[in-house]
A and B are shown apart, each in its own frame.
Chain A
Amino acid sequence: MKKLLFFLTILIAVAVAIPLSCSKDVKGRTDDTAPLQPAKTDLDGGTWKPVLLTGPTEFAVPAPAATNTPDYIAQINEIKTWQADLTNDEKAIVKYWSAGAILRWNEILRELVAKHNLPPYQNEDGTYPAPNANNPLAYPQFPFSNPPYAARAYAYVSAAQYDALVAAWHYKKLYNRPAPYKVDATINVLIPQTDLPSYPSEDAVVVGAAVEMLKLLFPGDQDYIQQKAEEHKRARIIAGANVRSDIEAGEALGKAVAQKFVTRARSDRAGAAIGNQAQWTQLETDCIARGEKPWYSLEAPKRPPMLPIFGKVKPFLFDSLTAVSLRPGPPPLTGSDKMKQETNEIYDYVNNPTRERLRIVHFWADGAGTYTPAGHWDAIAAEDFITKNYSELRWARNMALLNMSLMDASIVCWDTKYFYFNPRPTQLDPRIKTLTGIPNFPAYISGHSTFSGAAAAILSHIVPEKAAAYNAMASEASLSRMYGGIHYRADCEVGLQVGKNIGGYAVERAKIDGAGN
């Protein structure tokens, strides 16, 4: 019995020690991002060209109280009170938010997209329910943030933040209120100091614009969004970066500017993008009338096509007529030898899935439950922008250029997809089993290729030394769809080119928006 007890003791000791001895903490790539310390303040940013605003003064920001008033001194004391007793949680939120307002809100948006990027489960009768913006928490939750929805969301949030910051920079220069730590040297400043005037707070501008846009885009996640917003604003006060009136003026400005974008979003035709049964049938009928094999859903039960009318959404970088003119010529005819040859090529790929090709497929899949291709390009861009020490304004401008490119890419791509209504390789050859999920919309042209071509074009302008890398990534993203068995070569090659053409519009805009490089 003694032996037995000894044995059990050892066993329990080992069973406890081993799990405790190994830390399995997984860190995100941006968890430890250093506090943003802009290389230049871009003090004249108020003159940069906004997206929707008629000018930086379209929304008034009242002059701030002088820094020698009792009101201001009370606000300085608020900072000191916070700082007198800092908890580890408070230090952690300062660290988190100091990495950059645009960066963090872009990450939050990516998170919301990933959370909601799930196709609804079917009804009993084989039809599918649609999310309802007026009842966002009922199943299926609103939104289904699929790739076009996501691209549009990234664009609106980025563009609204950019415009609001252009206005903020105007008022910063105009009022020239110094940061609290420049007024009172006894403040323990927890972030890198800057010469940028602090009123209105650029961080609060970003918060205000994000919160206002996200009410529209992710109405079911308000508690989470509000919690992040409060935390962000608090972090700025705790850090000694802003006094409360900097924050309040910034938030109000951000919200006011974002309202303009909300109004645009309500009438940009995205609300009708889902279409209706008559329109879905029409697409098929038109395709048959052209003598072509129409696309059909490869899901069981057959799911209505994803946002077939999204091609009609109002783009940011050009007008709707230009969007139509960017639509490429037709894919190979479904009955042609060329199409047969392209289908065979895909069959070969899926039957010989090397590990490297599978890695490429999965690396770029960005399917259900992910932040979508547009989010993937935002992640790539954000990690490069971190190294650039941009001002918040320049961060916002660059993200806006990227995301307007991605949204417009989704518009032209979706227009093309539903104009041609071309089947997927598996439809033409059912032997083709795919290495990632088949998206529920027509093949030509590849969304990944269009997104990636557009992203690579504008990012190559913004970060020219990485142009070759961006183009290589775009090509790989494009090829991944062939390796995965879900696109033909024509979809990918033409998609990449169409994307590059769209990105070109963002480049042209970037050249004349006053930001330089």
Chain B
Amino acid sequence: MICLNYCKRLLIAAICLALIQVPAAAQTDIDGIMMTKNNFCSGLMYSYSNWTNYWEGKLKRENLNLGRVTTQMIGVMGNYGITNKLNVLFSLPYVTTKASAGTLHGMEGVQDLSLYVKWMPIEMKMGNGDFTAYAIGGYSLPVTNYAADYLPLSIGLRSRNIYLRAMADYQLGRFFVTGSGTYVQRSNITIDRTAYYTTEMHLTNKVDMPDAASFNFRAGYRFGGIIAEAVLDNWTTLGGFDITRNNMPFPSNEMNATRLGVNFKYEIPAVQGLSVIGGGNYTIAGRNMGQATTANGGIFYILNFNGKKSATKPSSSKTN
């Protein structure tokens, strides 16, 4: 049986892709690990992200009237195994933003609820390793009436998003690679003002949010109760416009980012089902986004509703 019964480190709900948080990668919806049937993994995640430089269009700059922009997030997340091949996941973050310089007031509040269905229809031997493929569908929506049009200090962008993701994972011995591509369809949003200028005037409070695509590659060690991986991901907005010179950002900007990071997970042997995770990433390229450095950590616990000990045994690798 190849489904893995651990709750993988949750890559943050989006980790402030910088000027704002964009749910780029979320929790276990982006890794090659499934929860076992009737197991529920849930936990708390914390992340701390900050930047002083950002890309105004393609131009990298600082802004003395913002200083260091910090985003903190605490989120509750969960993953339930309906079957070994079908999981449902959720996350709900509380976000706080702050600028160290200038006069702008930070924001805080509950942001967007994300729901994912993760399906693993393919599981096969390939060469000496195991190949699995996944289809993942997600939906996120704001659960509070926060203001999106207050970048870079708004806590989110407010669009209701549909995520469609294809993912493949290959594990050979203790090592694995995972790749995924996601199409993100974003709904229009409503802002508090009745007109705005992008590259032309819009006499409306509705904003057409361009869709986005993201790619995520991860590779590393996965064996026993330990995962260590490197992650490269990219979020590209399919449309949108650049921040004009010395202007403020706007929700429908073309926000792109490429990030490089590492993640670790450790299952605490003394307490069955308990694991801690940690990680970090750095934005290596971007457009209309902050060059963020992010650190995150979390603690997770697996509840087994099977009552069968075998199902909650500490994780095994795919080849075990």
- A residues sitting closer than 8 Å to B (CB atoms) are 3-4, 7-8, 10-11, 14-15, 18-19, 22, 24-31, 107, 110-111, 114-115, 118-121, 139-140, 298-301, 350, 353, 355, 358-359, 362-363, 365-366, 368-371, 376, 379, 426, 432-435, 437-438, 485
Contact = CB atoms under 8 A, between A and B. Distances in A.
Nearest to A485: B105
B147 to A, nearest CB: 6
Contacts of B187: 22, 24
A139 B246 CA distance: 11
Contact of A121 (B101, B104, B208, B245): B245
Contacts of B164: 11, 14-15, 18
Given A118-B245, A434-B104, 19 more contacts: A7-B135, A15-B183, A18-B183, A19-B211, A28-B203, A31-B203, A110-B195, A118-B247, A140-B245, A300-B64, A355-B147, A358-B192, A362-B150, A365-B193, A370-B196, A426-B103, A433-B104, A434-B103, A435-B105
Contact of B192 (A31, A120, A299, A359): A359
24 contacts: A7-B133, A11-B164, A11-B166, A18-B162, A19-B185, A24-B188, A26-B206, A26-B207, A28-B202, A29-B204, A30-B203, A107-B201, A140-B245, A300-B101, A350-B105, A365-B193, A369-B197, A370-B197, A371-B201, A376-B195, A379-B203, A432-B103, A435-B105, A485-B103
Interface string B43-64: 0000000000000000000001
Nearest to A117: B197
Given A15-B164, A26-B188, A370 B195 contact: yes
Contact of B201 (A24, A27, A110): A110
B191 interface: yes
Nearest to A139: B245
B103 to A, nearest CB: 5
Contacts of A438: 103
Nearest to A31: B203
A210 to B, nearest CB: 16
B310 interface: no
Contacts, number: 134
A27 B197 CA distance: 14
Nearest to B199: A115
Nearest to B98: A433
B201 A114 contact: yes
Interface of B: 64-65, 101-106, 121-122, 133, 135, 145, 147, 149-150, 162, 164, 166, 183, 185, 187-188, 191-197, 200-204, 206-209, 211, 244-248
B133 A4 contact: yes
A19 B162 CA distance: 10
B294 to A, nearest CB: 24
Nearest to B166: A11
A18 B248 contact: no
Contacts of A115: 197
A149 to B, nearest CB: 16
Contacts of B192: 358-359, 362-363
A438 B65 CA distance: 11
B203 A29 contact: yes
A85 to B, nearest CB: 29
Contacts of B162: 18
B204 A433 contact: no
Contacts of A433: 103-106
Contacts of B122: 3-4, 7
Contacts of B195: 110, 114, 370-371, 376, 379
